[in-house]
Structure 1
């Protein structure tokens, strides 16, 4: 995104060491998701400088423009009920993202999986609830 939106002049303005020297090279098209995730910390507070982390929480200017232009996820209107699942303890993707998206989708329900639920645990905890909800909406055929 920096090449398109010019968010920083030097990686050290956005990323803390030791990541500032390697993060851009990870997004070269030759590293898969597993390699990228394995090379970066689980907590973005360890990755981003405090100033850049604050900017990410309160985006403005080029960063806000980049986020808006890159996110079409919630730019549609569902014709059926929609639920979004998120953990209020997720430090990678704040639950407010789901709440904002739910509002843009016309009031989709946001299910908070809890304050002790991080990003990786949320899918494991959400799946049983999703399946139960689907079965309530469309009962399995009787055979």
Structure 2
């Protein structure tokens, strides 16, 4: 049974509440093997990759959230997680939005409705503003200092 049984309308407050319960805001760090490219999110050969994701077994709700985000000009990706744990009837599904600009825009829309993840959103926005500093070459030490501020 879908979580949308009561009100058939999808909106930002619903997505924010769903994210509060089932979502993750992640920062991945991976080595960037490209030479000579120093972008705003690159840290001395390392790149910081943000991800906003929802994971659930409720395919119908996640498909509706995916459609809504697409209609709002976001670029969500959907993944069916193939690993099925013991006792689960089916694999989970994940919706993910990536990229600093996309996530920043999404966070600014959702933060007024958020309760449980509001502090995570605020920290993300702080970190994004630090990383976005133009003309700054990020070394590992500078990045760690910036992280301490957040």
TM range (shorter): under 0.3
Larger Rg belongs to? 1
More strand by share: 2
More helix by share: 1
TM-score normalised over the length of structure 2: 0.27
TM-score normalised over the length of structure 1: 0.27
